[in-house]
A and B are shown apart, each in its own frame.
Chain A
Amino acid sequence: MSAADPTPAASGAARTSAAPAGTVWEVFVRPRRGLSHQHVGSVHAADAQLALRRARDLYTRRGEGVSIWVVPGGAISATSPDEKDPYFAPAADKTYRHPTFYQLPEGVKNL
């Protein structure tokens, strides 16, 4: 999918077409050092530089972030919610991946 015809996957619009005023950019903000970037919303902009500026003005007016990523909506690939269950099924049947799966002998500590 080209950026000129984006499907903003993080916002998830399945039917959005390109806006004449510019591409939809999904915005991710790092609230402070040590935390990862988090999706906060989207902006419209003709290019990445403008998208970053608009994201700064829109999503960080009160010091909500120390770093911003903008990604053209069409550049994001996403799993489909319709196939959620089969897609994530392999994680569900391996309960031995969790520490709670294991029985510990009485009295053992720090384990």
Chain B
Amino acid sequence: MAVMQERVAQGRTDVPLDLEAGFEALLAADERIEPRDWMPEAYRATLIRQIAQHAHSEIIGMQPEGNWLTRAPSLRRKAILLAKVQDEAGHGLYLYSAAETLGVTREELLDALHNGRQRYSSIFNYPTLTWADVGAIGWLVDGAAIVNQIPLTRCSYGPYARAMVRICKEESFHQRQGYESLYTLAHGTPEQHAMAQDAVDRWWWPSLMMFGPPDSASAHTARSTHWKIKRHGNDELRQRFVDLTVPQAEVLGLTLPDPRLAWNAETGHYDCGPIDWSEFEAVLAGNGPCNRQRIARRVSAHEDGAWVRAAAAAYAEKHGHRGEDGREIE
């Protein structure tokens, strides 16, 4: 009955009820929805929006760390950072590939990123001022991403869930390399320690904002939860991240910039001070420290790469597609 009411409310009485019922039955059985299955248009649109935003975040996320590639303090750190930034590109591609199964093209998605119709995570609008920021991003930003992403490996849409399995496997290297780098700085000279502390001070609050607004203010939570795209509330995941991270900070010998952060024996969790959501709103509205710079860089990289795409197309035109005549490739 609820399904019927929703259909009427959305003006979708054109869809045969058995298709809708079949979709709901798959969700109820905790089965995955696969690309060629019938799905409500709103489910498709929600997934496209979410997967695209996730993909855009991965490739925009290459910029803050890419900023330090040529200035990494040792060959070891440089090789690690290169591998990490390459992973971010890879994660973007897994996700674009998953989004394409929903019937959008790569070009449409990139256009939407470039002209601001689709967003990326607001965390990447903060600058990387010192080398220690690379460590803080690995530890805190990738740490928060892992907490956010692990439940997505059980998301109802098959290609998205499978991409997330692959991504989560790779993220743990990202977090560890950041932690190791910060630990080294925190136990180095007083200047290095101060640099590590400064980076943590700047990245802590934006990392907490990565989980999104409080559930009470989150626009899509209820529907995404019903569709099993979302399995936990924003506040629950944020709390999980805080509980995991506070003891790690103690081992680092660094403090977190929240005077109200304290263990609450009654709840079994850490209590935090209030988050300044006006900052989050400002960054989301395009007024973070690096919003314009990030998009300008992305657009110029895309435009500068036009000749490569043209050359590849011309080459293919000239030589034809190999491997299509049914012969074995292996």
Contact = CB atoms under 8 A, between A and B. Distances in A.
A75 B170 CA distance: 31
Interface string A46-68: 11111110000110011000010
Contact of B97 (A17, A43, A48, A62): A43
Given A47-B322, A72-B324, A13 B102 contact: yes
Contacts of B162: 41
Contact of B312 (A12, A16, A46, A58): A46
Given A44-B106, A82-B38, A16 B100 contact: yes
Given A14-B103, A58-B94, A78-B36, A22 B313 contact: yes
Contact of A21 (B93, B98, B102, B313): B313
The size bracket of the interface on B is 35 or more
B225 to A, nearest CB: 25
Contacts, number: 104
Given A50-B312, A61-B87, A61-B90, A3 B101 contact: no
B76 interface: no
Contacts of A57: 90
Interface in B309-330: 309, 312-313, 315-316, 319-324, 329-330
Contacts of B315: 46-47
Main SS of chain A's interface residues? mixed
Contact of B94 (A17, A41, A44): A41
Contacts of A51: 323
Interface string B78-109: 00000000110010011001101111111100
A14 B319 CA distance: 28
B34 interface: yes
Interface string A67-95: 10111100100101110000000000000
Contacts of A67: 330
A70 B35 CA distance: 19
A9 B316 CA distance: 22
B270 to A, nearest CB: 34
A49 B322 contact: yes
Given A21-B106, A47-B316, A11 B35 contact: yes
B81 to A, nearest CB: 15
A58 B106 contact: no
A13 to B, nearest CB: 5
B37 interface: yes
A52 B36 CA distance: 25
Nearest to A23: B321
B330 A17 contact: no
B206 interface: no
B100 A11 contact: yes
B106 A15 contact: no
B135 to A, nearest CB: 22
Contacts of B98: 41
A17 B105 CA distance: 7
Interface of B: 34-38, 86-87, 90, 93-94, 97-98, 100-107, 159, 162-163, 166, 170, 309, 312-313, 315-316, 319-324, 329-330
28 contacts: A8-B100, A9-B36, A11-B159, A15-B103, A16-B100, A16-B104, A16-B105, A20-B309, A21-B309, A40-B166, A41-B162, A42-B97, A43-B93, A44-B106, A47-B315, A47-B321, A48-B329, A49-B322, A50-B312, A51-B323, A61-B86, A67-B330, A69-B330, A70-B329, A71-B323, A72-B324, A80-B36, A81-B37
